[in-house]
Amino acid sequence: MKQFWKSMLKSPSGVIGLVILLVAVSVAVFGPMLFPNSPWRMVQRPFLPPFTLSTVPLGTDALGRDIFAGMIFGARVSLLVGLVSTLAALIVGVPIGAMAGYFGGKVDDALMRFTEFFQTIPSFALAIVLVAILQPSIYSIVASIAVVSWPPVARLVRGEVLSLRTREYVQAAVVTGQSNSWIILREILPNALSPVIVLASLMVATAILLESSLSFLGLGDPNLISWGYMVGAGRTVIRQAWWITVFPGIAILISVLGLNLIGEGLNDALNPRLSREGR
Amino acid sequence: MADGDWDGPTVALRARARAKRFRLVLLEKDYDMPKRVLLGLLLVCGLAAPALAQEPKTGGVINAVIQPEPPGLMLAQVQNGPTQMVSGNIFEGLLRYSPKLEPLPELAESWSVSEDAKTYTFKLKKGVTWHDGKPFTAADVLFSMEMLKQTHARARTNLAQVDKIETPDQHTVVFTLKQPFGPFLGIFEVGSMPMVPKHLYDGTDWKTNPYNNAPIGTGPFMFKEWQKGSFIRLVKNPNYHEKGKPYLDEIYWQIIPDAAARSVAYETGKVDVLPGGSVENFDVPRLSKLKDTCVTGAGWEFFSPLAWLWLNNRQGPLADKRVRQAIMYAIDRDFAKDVIWNGLGKVATGPSASTIKYYTDDVKKYPYDPAKAKALLKEAGYKGEKIRLLPLAYGETWQRWGEAVKQNLQDVGMTIETIATDVAGGNQKISDWDYDIAFTYLYQYGDPALGVGRNYISSNIAKGQVFNNVEGYSNPEIDKLFAEGAVATPDSKRKEIYEKAQKILVEDVPVAWMLELQFPTIMRCKVKNLITTGIGVNDGFKDAWLDK
């Protein structure tokens, strides 16, 4: 573990990513406590440009709502959606991939055909359809993002498990008569985890983008503000008021960038070959 | 909050500038003072006053936007908004209506009402021909009524009071009513009662008649071609029955599905006219600032769209009158008008729009007063029960409005949950009474008997339909007043009845009235006389001309 942090902190991208994520998470957690004003409240005159009033530093939107407040509350929704939907995708994808890889044969065939069934449908289109059918709410959005993002996890885990399955220590465990679930959970998965962690950090970024895109299209939860919603609502007035879209857009850009950098850092830190070179 | 770059001040400034220009012209001609003031006023009102100063010129082509693409152009069978807008040029009704909703001659050149207000005699204009050259006669009127009763829901209701229709000669039509029906002279506008050619439709299957795709009417313009998804082209009717009209050679109705692209099409000069509702509200200020651009809110007097919130009177906190009144006090309707609708429209005072007959503002007033709303909620014992809000899925403006109303209601302590839905889903929920608060807007058609009563009388509570009394308000006194009002004579008696009804309704707040909507028409200033009646763009372009 110490080794991991050491190499993680050695890679510049990892450090930058961690800093960004830390800032974003603390804004999401503590921001609403420091700025308790609801982002839906109409506080000033509409279309107030940024940096004109210290009470609304980033200006106001088409209804006179504080964009700064929207960014802070939006961080909570965007990050939460990213995190929860990724967790949900892992909970579905990892067991399916592990079982397919471990048992092989017909189980593998069945599970992989099922996975491919999801992979053949363009993921964003499927997400739109699911949200539209389930009616937009935070739950349906998380669920639909999870549904469209688990197949790559399953494929990745399956590949890892397939290669680990033939290792001697696994065969030794089989010979000693340990149960399948014990072998998968204790012998194989811990060793297959590194690429999954890297993938997961990128999936959080993708999930934030997916949520933003859904909100942009008006399929967000109407009771919660998110960055994507802010961009979508401001898009049509971009020629009169650029700041309504630009600031939340930057927030999306930076947090997605941060997560990608973390993914890169993790990759460097967790990849045994690369870290050996670094030593 | 009145400064900034919304449309209201811009329109006023523009109108003022225009008024100045023409006042100068008038000064040279040395008109007397009162007349000049009157003319100035007319100009400020955005009416068709330039015609007073200039003779119409003939020729030219107008490109207008039609949004969305109409499903068909046979006005007697299809009544969607865009159909009315395009086909109002092809077809005509017996009458048209001034901005004050007085009947004006169109295919009927004169009319008279019998002493007992039960017999209406229309004298048809002579020498009117269909686009194919056949003469228009009383037989066509008779046939049109027959068809409309089967194909046009509103016409069917409007004609319910008619006992018989007779045609003593080729140019006379006599309607005999079962009982006096006050608003009868208000039902003959082209969209409500278009005349169809008997010789082309009689004895055929109306739904599949080939002329549905190339409609033949008596109107100032003839159907020429329709490139689906691209444009509809109408050309001048050279044999139009009003000599010298129409002035334009052709009209192209351009079909552009994306709202932003429609704005751009106007900016780049591809189209000259953006009828009300064809661009989003927030684009209106920008577009109206463009050079040589004129904006008017006129031309919707006949429809008088009134926006309100359906309040489900049946269940939960909203069953209490005090909660409904609190909602009226809690909502900042001036904000909605100034910010969301860019200053266009008018805060509604009650169930009737101010443009329709027997309107009175001598009713209980509900100014924006959150403190009073809170007090009323407390008095009613409201304890934060969840209330569902259904916005109208008609685009950005309505979405923003839903957000603002939600915030207003939350500010006075109500717990509001917005339900996201599409148009069809929203209609479904409202018609199943599965909502607490829902946005809507409805046309009023000039008379309380045609467009107001339907939403408040208890006989109109019918599950499964969306534009009746879906709020479930039931008050025997209101039922009685609207029943009497429709058939009462003379006019003063009707006025008395409807004023009383308005007072009772405003006290009871069966629904929360928001705004009298105005859909601004944006056009190049060189387009003159586009809107001359209370039916606006839907009345056809017969008076319009281009100042080149």
Nearest CA of chain B to the CA of A187: how many Å? Answer: 47
Instruction: Count Cβ–Cβ pairs < 8 Å, chain A vs chain B.
Output: 62
How high is the pLDDT of residue B268? 94
Instruction: Give dist(CA B469, CA B459) in Å, integer.
Output: 8
User: Which residues of chain B from 286 to 325 reach within 8 Å of chain A, CB to CB?
Assistant: 286
String of DSSP letters for B296-338? E--S-TTT--EEEEEE-TTSSGGGSHHHHHHHHHHS-HHHIII
pLDDT over 70 percentage in chain B: 90
Tokens of B162: 């008619």
Quick check: B466 contacting A, CB < 8 Å?
no
Quick check: B428 contacting A, CB < 8 Å?
no
Q: Which of A40, A47, A221 sits opposite B403 (nearest CB)?
A: A40
Quick check: A43 contacting B, CB < 8 Å?
no
pLDDT tens by residue, B108-134: 999 999 988 899 999 999 999 999 999
Mutate to test the interface with B, among A141, A223, A224 (most CBs of B within 10 A): A223
| Distance (Å) of CA B356 to CA A112, B113, B190, B343, B495 | 67, 21, 18, 21, 12
Tell me how crowded residue A137 is: count the other CB atoms within 10 A of its CB: 18
Phi-psi region of B461 (alpha: psi -120 to 50; beta: other; left: phi over 0): beta
Lowest average pLDDT, out of A79-83, B67-71, B184-188, B193-197, goes to: B67-71
Judge: A135–B419 Cβ closer than 8 Å, yes or no: yes
Residues of A in contact with B259 (CB under 8 A): 236
For B400-439, letters b (16+ CB in 10 Å) and e give: bbbbbbbbbbebbbbebebbbbeeeebbebbbebebbbbb
Quick check: A41 contacting B, CB < 8 Å?
yes
How high is the pLDDT of residue A19? 94
Q: Which of A45, A63, A218 sits opposite B404 (nearest CB)?
A: A63
Residues of B in contact with A38 (CB under 8 A): 407, 410
**Cis? peptide before B490, omega within 30° of 0:** yes
- Run of H or E including B252: strand B250-255
For B108-142, letters b (16+ CB in 10 Å) and e give: beebeeeeebbebbbbbbeebebbeeeebbbebbe
Nearest CA of chain B to the CA of A60: how many Å? Answer: 13
Q: Indicate if ipTM > 0.85.
A: no
Q: Residues B518-530: what's their mean pLDDT?
A: 92
Residue B444 confidence (pLDDT) above 80:
yes
Residues of A in contact with B282 (CB under 8 A): 62, 236-237, 240
String of DSSP letters for A236-255? TTTTT-THHHHHHHHHHHHH
Nearest CA of chain A to the CA of B415: how many Å? Answer: 11
Judge: A40–B407 Cβ closer than 8 Å, yes or no: yes
Judge: B400–A237 Cβ closer than 8 Å, yes or no: no
Judge: B5–A135 Cβ closer than 8 Å, yes or no: no
Instruction: Give dist(CA B85, CA B87) in Å, integer.
Output: 6
Q: Are B91 and B196 in contact (CB under 8 A)?
A: yes
Judge: B282–A135 Cβ closer than 8 Å, yes or no: no
Tell me how crowded residue B187 is: count the other CB atoms within 10 A of its CB: 23
Judge: B403–A221 Cβ closer than 8 Å, yes or no: no
Q: Are B450 and B187 in contact (CB under 8 A)?
A: yes
Question: Which residue is closest to B417 within chain A, CA to CA?
Answer: A223
Q: Which of A41, A221, A239 sits opposite B407 (nearest CB)?
A: A41
Quick check: A38 contacting B, CB < 8 Å?
yes
Q: Are B489 and B498 in contact (CB under 8 A)?
A: no
Q: Are B359 and B301 in contact (CB under 8 A)?
A: no
Instruction: Give dist(CA B345, CA B183) in Å, integer.
Output: 25
Quick check: B415 contacting A, CB < 8 Å?
no
Lowest average pLDDT, out of B6-10, B59-63, B122-126, B157-161, goes to: B6-10
Judge: B406–A40 Cβ closer than 8 Å, yes or no: yes
Nearest CA of chain B to the CA of A245: how many Å? Answer: 15
Question: Which residue is closest to B400 within chain A, CA to CA?
Answer: A63
Judge: A233–B260 Cβ closer than 8 Å, yes or no: no
Sign of torsion over alpha carbons B470, B471, B476, B481? negative
Judge: B420–A222 Cβ closer than 8 Å, yes or no: yes
DSSP assignment, residue B206? G
How high is the pLDDT of residue A56? 87
Query: What confidence tier does B507 reach under pLDDT thresholds 50, 70, 90?
Result: very high
Q: Which of A41, A223, A233 sits opposite B417 (nearest CB)?
A: A223
Instruction: Give dist(CA A83, CA A203) in Å, integer.
Output: 9
**Three-state secondary-structure class, residue B222:** strand
Instruction: Give dist(CA B256, CA A81) in Å, integer.
Output: 36
How high is the pLDDT of residue A268? 84
pLDDT tens by residue, B446-497: 889 888 988 999 988 888 777 789 999 999 999 999 999 888 878 899 999 9
Q: Residues B210-229: what's their mean pLDDT?
A: 94
> Which class for A89: exposed (0-12), middle (13-18), buried (19 or more C-beta within 10 A)?
buried
Judge: B402–A136 Cβ closer than 8 Å, yes or no: no
Judge: B407–A236 Cβ closer than 8 Å, yes or no: no
Query: What confidence tier does B53 reach under pLDDT thresholds 50, 70, 90?
Result: low
Quick check: B403 contacting A, CB < 8 Å?
yes
Nearest CA of chain A to the CA of B386: how many Å? Answer: 13
| Residue B171, amino acid | H
Lowest average pLDDT, out of A2-11, B243-252, B290-299, goes to: A2-11
| Residue B150, amino acid | Q
Mutate to test the interface with B, among A37, A40, A41, A42 (most CBs of B within 10 A): A42
Instruction: Give dist(CA B351, CA B505) in Å, integer.
Output: 7
Instruction: Give me chain B's average pLDDT, please.
Output: 86
pLDDT string in tens for chain A (279-residue length): 777 888 788 888 889 999 999 999 999 999 888 887 789 988 888 889 999 888 889 999 988 999 999 999 999 999 999 999 999 999 999 999 999 999 999 999 999 999 999 999 999 999 999 998 998 999 999 999 999 999 999 999 999 999 999 999 999 999 999 999 999 999 899 988 889 999 999 999 999 999 999 998 888 998 999 999 999 888 888 888 899 999 999 999 999 999 999 998 888 888 766 555 444
| Distance (Å) of CA A6 to CA A3, A260, A278 | 5, 19, 11
**Cis? peptide before A95, omega within 30° of 0:** no
- Comparing B179 with B173, the larger pLDDT belongs to B173
**Three-state secondary-structure class, residue A136:** coil
Nearest CA of chain B to the CA of A184: how many Å? Answer: 43
Q: Are A89 and A203 in contact (CB under 8 A)?
A: yes
Instruction: Give dist(CA B341, CA B517) in Å, integer.
Output: 8
- Comparing B421 with A85, the larger pLDDT belongs to A85
Residues of B in contact with A64 (CB under 8 A): 339
Quick check: A178 contacting B, CB < 8 Å?
no
Q: Are B488 and B501 in contact (CB under 8 A)?
A: no
Instruction: Give dist(CA A235, CA A223) in Å, integer.
Output: 19
Residue B146 confidence (pLDDT) above 50:
yes
Instruction: Give dist(CA B335, CA B343) in Å, integer.
Output: 9
Q: Which of A219, A222, A236 sits opposite B260 (nearest CB)?
A: A236
pTM here is 0.80
Residues of B in contact with A40 (CB under 8 A): 403, 406-407, 410
Q: Which of B283, B285, B407 sits opposite A42 (nearest CB)?
A: B407
Quick check: B267 contacting A, CB < 8 Å?
no
Residues of A in contact with B340 (CB under 8 A): 63
Residue found under tokens 């691209």:
B230
Which residues in B179-240 belong to E strands, given as ranges?
221-227, 231-236
Q: Which of A38, A132, A239 sits opposite B286 (nearest CB)?
A: A239
Instruction: Give dist(CA B125, CA B441) in Å, integer.
Output: 37
Mutate to test the interface with A, among B266, B283, B396, B410 (most CBs of A within 10 A): B396
> Cα-flanking dihedrals φ and ψ of residue B369, to 5°?
-150, 80
Instruction: Give dist(CA B269, CA B248) in Å, integer.
Output: 18
